[in-house]
């Protein structure tokens, strides 16, 4: 008999298995979350106000994710309408010490964090005596510790309850090794492992988990399982000169407590000024950025946030529309087609797929086809970021 073929098991991902994911802006009160949200959404949805807890209900905005390939395709097809990739951002209320036990807007806040899939954590590193800090002074490292601790405490409380409930059910189990009892025992073991990790002051997303464990963890909807991108809000001057006394300390904190998480320095003050002074003046904006020798970070923030959620997009192109379709990476073709219409998934026949680089090289669809570079792909094809797809459904 030939040896059994070993198929490598695909690594499961933490988080909701959805293509419609959201990222929440989280941080201490009065650090610039709503200001950032407003700049990103370029509208006045969030309430920017100089008092702690100005935001109570989360506000939502779809923010486009910049992609040079998309711009190039729009230029090539000159379509009647365009839809870029976007990420849904949610402005969340400020969190304070003790939130996990209900202080401040505690539980309200944590429910909002539970509802999002990823976190932009805004950290205040700008000095401004006019802007109150709830802890009395500016200390981003303390703020980061407070936030990560509150999220962990809440997770631990949640997981402990779950472990207790499972323990009771297990005790009631028959003791015969049936499948249900075995699954329960495995679930219980995972929950205990998660609790141990949290009690050792580690975030769930930093643990090493098997696929089975990830299934259990995903059902728990834990706060510390969500990816975090740290956004450090600097004064305009510090941002431009790329220097601030807190930056090395923040970096060291991340290396120690959340290794691998990304840090993006930016400046609400600068972004606000640019948005205001050059609202409809792209040339003016370019000139100003050249003059002060810097760049806006909003595009980068959106891109990194999108990637942190394992999101990618494929394109559909034609004279009517060039559009980016967001999916979670690793989806097979029928599921990817299904984001356009569920019928495309149900009655999937095949996909005609072009690679962006081929279209860029051959400069027209017909030339790509003539070169035999457009390929027909079946149900098992895994759609890649930047693919240009035409779906055929029965």
Ligand X SMILES: Nc1nc2c(ncn2[C@@H]2O[C@H](COP(=O)(O)OP(=O)(O)OP(=O)(O)O)[C@@H](O)[C@H]2O)c(=O)[nH]1
Taking CB under 6 A as the criterion, the residue among 40, 48, 119, 228 binding ligand X is 48
Task: Compose the 185-214 pattern: x for residues touching ligand X by CB under 6 A, - for all others.
Answer: ------------------------------
Exposure class string for 37-58: b at 16+ Cβ within 10 A, else e? bbbbbeeeebebeeebebbeeb
Q: Can you tell me the distance from the alpha carbon of 353 to that of 236, in angstroms, rounded to the nearest whole number?
A: 45
Cβ at position 231, least distance to ligand X in Å = 11
Taking CB under 6 A as the criterion, the residue among 15, 32, 58, 84 binding ligand X is 32
Residue 29 binds which entry of ligand X, Mg ion, none, CB below 5-8 Å type-dependent: ligand X
The beta-strand segments (E) located in the chain are 22-26, 59-64, 81-83, 86-91, 118-124, 228-233, 262-266, 311-317, 321-328, 348-354, 375-377, 388-393
Neighbours of 236 (CB within 10 A): 18
Question: Rule CB under 6 A: is residue 55 a binding residue for ligand X?
Answer: yes
Cβ at position 150, least distance to ligand X in Å = 14
For residue 340, the number of C-alpha atoms closer than 13 Å in the C-beta half-sphere is 23
For ligand X, how many residues bind (rule: CB under 6 A)?
A: 24
DSSP SS3 for 211: helix
Name which of 125 and 223 has its Cβ closer to ligand X. 125
Cβ at position 34, least distance to ligand X in Å = 3
Taking CB under 6 A as the criterion, the residue among 35, 121, 224, 307 binding ligand X is 35
Name which of 131 and 393 has its Cβ closer to ligand X. 131
Question: Rule CB under 6 A: is residue 121 a binding residue for ligand X?
Answer: no
Task: Compose the 263-302 pattern: x for residues touching ligand X by CB under 6 A, - for all others.
Answer: ----xxx---------------------------------
Which residues within the stretch 11-40 sit at the binding site for Mg ion (CB under 5 A)? 33-34
Angle between helices 211-220 and 140-172 (to 10 degrees): 100
Question: Rule CB under 6 A: is residue 112 a binding residue for ligand X?
Answer: no
> What are the CA-CA distances from residue 77 to residues 366, 382, 387 (Å)?
13, 26, 16
The beta-strand segments (E) located in 65-117 are 81-83, 86-91
The stretch near ligand X (CB under 6 A) out of 46-54, 137-145, 174-182, 359-367 is 46-54
Cβ at position 5, least distance to ligand X in Å = 54
Question: Rule CB under 5 A: is residue 55 a binding residue for Mg ion?
Answer: yes
Name which of 59 and 155 has its Cβ closer to ligand X. 59
Exposure class string for 345-370: b at 16+ Cβ within 10 A, else e? beebebbebbbbebbeebeebeebee
């Amino acid at each position: 008999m030939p040896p059994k073929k070993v198929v490598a098991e695909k690594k499961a991902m933490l988080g909701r298995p959805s293509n419609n994911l959201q990222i929440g802006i989280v941080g201490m009160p009065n650090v610039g979350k709503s200001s950032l949200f407003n700049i990103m959404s370029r509208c006045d949805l969030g309430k920017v106000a100089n008092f702690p807890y100005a935001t109570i209900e989360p506000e939502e905005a779809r923010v486009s994710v910049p992609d040079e390939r998309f711009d190039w395709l729009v230029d090539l097809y000159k379509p009647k309408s365009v839809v870029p990739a976007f990420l849904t951002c949610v402005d969340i209320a400020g969190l304070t010490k003790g939130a996990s036990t209900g202080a401040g807007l505690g539980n309200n806040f944590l429910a909002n964090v539970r509802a999002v899939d990823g976190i932009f954590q805004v950290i205040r590193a700008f000095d401004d005596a006019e802007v109150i800090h709830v802890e009395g002074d500016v200390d981003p490292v303390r703020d980061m510790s407070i936030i990560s601790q509150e999220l962990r405490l809440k997770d631990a409380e949640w997981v402990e309850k779950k472990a207790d409930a499972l323990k009771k059910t297990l005790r009631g189990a028959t003791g015969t090794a049936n499948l249900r009892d075995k699954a329960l025992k495995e679930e219980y073991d995972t929950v205990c492992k998660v609790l141990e990790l949290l009690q050792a002051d580690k975030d769930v997303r930093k643990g090493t988990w098997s696929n089975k464990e990830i299934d259990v963890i995903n059902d728990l909807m834990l706060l510390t399982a969500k990816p975090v991108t740290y956004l450090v809000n600097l004064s305009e001057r510090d941002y431009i000169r790329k220097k601030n006394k807190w930056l090395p300390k923040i970096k060291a904190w991340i290396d120690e407590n959340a290794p691998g998480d990304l840090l993006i320095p930016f400046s609400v003050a600068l972004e606000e000024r640019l948005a205001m002074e050059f609202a409809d003046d792209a040339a003016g904006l370019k000139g100003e950025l050249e003059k002060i020798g810097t760049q806006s970070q909003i595009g980068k923030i959106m891109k990194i946030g999108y990637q942190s959620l394992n999101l990618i997009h494929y394109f559909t192109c034609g004279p009517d529309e060039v559009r980016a379709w967001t999916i979670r990476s690793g989806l097979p073709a029928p599921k990817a087609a299904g984001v356009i219409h569920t019928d495309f998934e149900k009655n999937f026949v095949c996909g005609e797929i072009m690679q962006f680089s081929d279209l860029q090289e051959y400069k027209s669809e017909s030339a790509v086809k003539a070169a035999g570079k457009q390929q027909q792909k079946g149900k098992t094809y895994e759609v890649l970021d930047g693919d240009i797809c035409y779906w055929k459904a029965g």
